[in-house]
């Protein structure tokens, strides 16, 4: 019993900080509502149009602004109080959900309105996601940042499991409209938590104000490129984020075309991934500071399991592998997030997290397009094998960069000098 108490205290230690505790609880409510909206919106689009292409367009509209705007957003996040930025983005997100509910409830929703509202949400998320990532470090001391990031992953995956389940029941019994209303109301929790925060306990540090936004972006990118720990981690993330984190596209294809199953198999593979993800978050929550070896190891394990799943035709074996896959995915991405924050100065954290969001979330449309093309060309199983192999290529590339960083830098400076002389 005492051992369990110590384990819980260690893995949930960030919750002892008042600001983070109310933020975490409110986020669990809000993110659950967000997942309800995601499921309801996808179902609405499919029932309205019956088109997978239209569903892909809606998804792209939500993620493309993140790819385009997150670097700019990082500059503003470093310049302005993060608390106010998040209050604004959460308020706009609540309004977007409320408008969706009103249009669906009155049966006046059109496809173009869905496109516009999806694009608006994407623009908001381009500021909200890096803002919330960087805000974690203002609520807890440096020694608890890793634990707080892991607990964020835990709540995200708990909400990813709970939200779709509640949405499924709600849609079946009441239709799609209530899910949008529940999501709109769920933002009340996070907005109230942000308003109740003790500002005296926040570690607020603004960036040096640059004369232009471009200079601010250049400063953040320059720091990331010239800091080996950050550069090497981002190199691996380019590969793993683009080719590995396409679960929303890969899992339905895996269930239908590899395991030859229906909705119940799709539900099972999704649940297995979610269970593994929560276990991965608990694993990382107990670590003080992730090492590069830890990050690279789980990126490699992630790629290897992806390859292993491609060979499996057994549902029980695939479910077991997916639990491990989910564990490795969260252990890797939570450790990556923590390492980037802990290796960047406070005044640059918004821009570094902007880079993180660009590489990780911004690559989603590219990865989804690649996944769909490869699955159609060579089949789902071979697609997963190729994507797993590309994740391993990313790990090898990051390791090569670290091992040869001095030589590569000298070569880069020499090329710049020759170009300048010419």
pLDDT tens, residue by residue, 286-303: 666 778 899 999 999 999
Cα separation, 235 vs 401, whole angstroms = 9
The predicted model gives 159-180 an average pLDDT of 80
In the block, which residue shows the tokens 């978050």? 281
Instruction: Give pLDDT, residue 251.
Output: 78
Q: Is 127 exposed, middle or buried (0-12, 13-18, 19+ CB in 10 A)?
A: buried
Return the closest-CA partner of residue 189 out of 24, 400, 50, 410: 24
Which of 41-55, 257-271, 286-300, 310-324 is most confident? 310-324
Cα separation, 379 vs 373, whole angstroms = 9
Q: What is the pLDDT of residues 376-408, one digit of tens each?
A: 888 889 999 999 999 999 999 999 998 887 665
Where residue 257 falls among pLDDT bands split at 50, 70, 90?
A: confident
Instruction: Give pLDDT, residue 315.
Output: 92
Instruction: Give pLDDT, residue 408.
Output: 56
Return the closest-CA partner of residue 138 out of 89, 91, 84, 82: 82
Q: What is the pLDDT of residues 61-90, one digit of tens each?
A: 888 888 888 888 888 888 888 899 999 999
Percentage of residues in the chain with pLDDT exceeding 90? 34
Q: How much is the pTM?
A: 0.77
Cα separation, 415 vs 35, whole angstroms = 48
Joined together, the tokens standing for residue 372 give 């769909």
Judge whether residue 163 has pLDDT over 60. Answer: yes
Domains and CATH numbers, the chain: 13-196 (1.20.1250.20), 212-413 (1.20.1250.20)
CB 32 within 8 A of CB 195: no
Instruction: Give pLDDT, residue 248.
Output: 67
Of 193 and 273, more confident: 193
The predicted model gives 320-326 an average pLDDT of 94
Q: What is the pLDDT of residues 96-139, one digit of tens each?
A: 999 999 999 998 889 999 999 999 999 999 999 888 888 888 89
Instruction: Give pLDDT, residue 418.
Output: 35
Percentage of residues in the chain with pLDDT exceeding 70? 89
Instruction: Give pLDDT, residue 52.
Output: 57
Instruction: Give pLDDT, residue 416.
Output: 46
Instruction: Give pLDDT, residue 205.
Output: 63
Instruction: Give pLDDT, residue 6.
Output: 60
Question: Any residues with CB less than 8 A from the CB of 363 and at least 6 apart, and which?
Answer: 67, 238, 241, 242
């Amino acid at each position: 019993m005492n051992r369990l108490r110590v384990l819980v205290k260690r893995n949930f230690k960030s919750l002892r900080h008042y600001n983070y505790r109310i933020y975490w609880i409110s986020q669990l409510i809000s993110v659950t509502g967000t997942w309800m909206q995601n499921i309801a919106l996808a179902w609405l689009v499919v029932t309205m149009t019956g088109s997978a292409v239209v569903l892909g367009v809606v998804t792209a509209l939500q993620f493309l602004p993140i790819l385009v705007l997150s670097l700019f957003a990082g500059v503003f996040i470093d310049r302005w109080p993060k608390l106010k930025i998040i209050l604004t983005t959460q308020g706009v997100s609540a309004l977007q959900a409320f408008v969706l509910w009103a249009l669906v409830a009155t049966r006046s929703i059109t496809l173009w309105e869905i496109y516009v509202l999806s694009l608006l949400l994407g623009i908001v998320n381009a500021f909200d996601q890096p803002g919330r990532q960087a805000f974690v470090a203002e609520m807890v001391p440096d020694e608890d940042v890793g634990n707080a990031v892991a607990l964020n992953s835990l709540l995200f995956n708990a909400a990813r499991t709970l939200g779709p389940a509640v949405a499924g029941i709600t849609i079946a019994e009441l239709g799609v409209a209530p899910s949008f209303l529940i999501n709109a109301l769920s933002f009340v929790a996070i907005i109230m938590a942000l308003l109740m925060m003790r500002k005296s306990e926040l570690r607020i540090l603004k960036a040096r104000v640059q004369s232009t936004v471009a200079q601010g972006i250049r400063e953040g990118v320059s720091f990331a490129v010239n800091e080996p720990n950050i550069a090497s981690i981002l190199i691996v993330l380019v590969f793993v984020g683009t080719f590995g984190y396409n679960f929303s596209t890969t899992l339905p294809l895996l269930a239908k075309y590899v395991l030859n199953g229906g909705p119940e198999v799709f539900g099972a593979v999704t649940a297995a991934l979610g269970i593994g993800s929560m276990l991965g978050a608990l694993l990382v929550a107990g670590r003080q500071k992730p090492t590069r070896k830890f990050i690279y190891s789980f990126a490699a394990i992630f790629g290897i399991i992806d390859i292993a799943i491609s060979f499996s035709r057994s549902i029980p074996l695939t479910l077991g592998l997916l639990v491990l896959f989910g564990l490795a995915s969260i252990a890797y991405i939570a450790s990556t997030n923590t390492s980037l924050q802990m290796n960047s100065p406070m005044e640059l954290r918004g821009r570094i997290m902007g880079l993180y969001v660009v590489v990780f979330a911004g690559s989603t449309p590219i990865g989804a397009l690649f996944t769909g093309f490869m699955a159609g060309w060579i089949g789902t199983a071979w697609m997963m094998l190729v994507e797993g192999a590309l994740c391993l290529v990313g790990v090898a590339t990051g390791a090569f960069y670290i091992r040869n960083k001095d030589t590569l830098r000298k070569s880069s400076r020499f090329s710049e000098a020759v170009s300048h002389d010419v």
